[in-house]
């Protein structure tokens, strides 16, 4: 009598079914992480702004220049203090410190000295010192424009709290700058 031994092995179809089930679970897991996890646009903007502030701080200390940072609802720009005219001026022909716009559904929320700042949609107008109005004194023009955050040649900076928020979601990244110019970043949810 011959006895047949039954060997247990998986068929190709059974292996494919198991692989398909695993792939579905992995896809669902990765999708849920990207929906629940941090927002890459917000993180990118936070890293970019932190790097630009650090670069401005380095240039301020090395070159003895004073920089400013103006925030709008969906943009920001750097300005420079001109000691000859004693006014803040736009930085021209410098791609690093140019006006930068956020993605359409991302906005800033700025807090200075514990108070929320009402941000404008467009950059503030910096008066040209050569175009003085007759009724204004020179000192009135000088005080007209001032950036939200100042970066001094000593390395110090204006302390601030800046939330970078995606509208209609709970995602945001908070930047907290201190008087030494150091910026701490953390993700938050409303």
CB 162 within 8 A of CB 174: yes
Tell me the sheet residues that pair with 67.
80, 151
pLDDT at residue 73 tops 80: yes
Query: Helix H segments across the chain?
Result: 12-36, 40-63, 138-144
Band (33; pLDDT cuts 50, 70, 90): low
Predicted confidence (pLDDT) per residue in 38-62, tens digit = 468 888 899 999 999 999 999 999 9
Among candidate residues 77, 82, 112, the one with its CA nearest the CA of residue 98: 77
When comparing pLDDT for 145 and 131, which is higher? 145
- Sketch out the chain's domains with CATH numbers: 40-189 (3.55.40.10)
- Residue 57's contacts (CB-CB under 8 Å, 6 or more residues apart) are 67, 151, 155, 157, 181
Matching residue, tokens 């803040």: 88
Predicted confidence (pLDDT) per residue in 16-30, tens digit = 888 889 888 887 776
Band (142; pLDDT cuts 50, 70, 90): very low
Write out the H or E segment, with its range, that includes residue 59: helix 40-63
The pLDDT of residue 77 is 95
């Amino acid at each position: 009598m011959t006895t047949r031994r039954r060997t247990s092995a998986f068929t190709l179809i059974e292996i494919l079914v198991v692989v398909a089930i695993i792939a579905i679970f992995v896809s669902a897991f990765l999708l849920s992480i990207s929906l629940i996890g941090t927002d890459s646009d917000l993180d990118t903007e936070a890293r970019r702004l932190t790097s630009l502030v650090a670069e401005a701080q380095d240039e301020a200390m090395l070159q003895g220049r004073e920089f400013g940072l103006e925030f709008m609802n969906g943009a920001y720009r750097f300005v420079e203090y001109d000691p000859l005219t004693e006014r803040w001026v736009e930085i021209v022909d410098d791609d690093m410190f140019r006006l930068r716009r956020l993605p359409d559904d991302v906005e800033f929320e700025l807090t200075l000295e514990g108070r929320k700042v009402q941000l404008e949609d467009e950059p503030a107008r910096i008066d040209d010192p050569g175009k003085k109005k007759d009724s204004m004194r020179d000192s009135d023009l000088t005080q007209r424009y001032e950036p939200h955050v100042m970066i001094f040649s000593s390395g110090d900076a204006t302390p601030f709290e800046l939330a970078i928020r995606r509208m209609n979601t709970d995602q945001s990244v908070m930047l907290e700058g201190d008087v030494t110019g150091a910026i701490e970043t953390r993700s938050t949810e409303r």
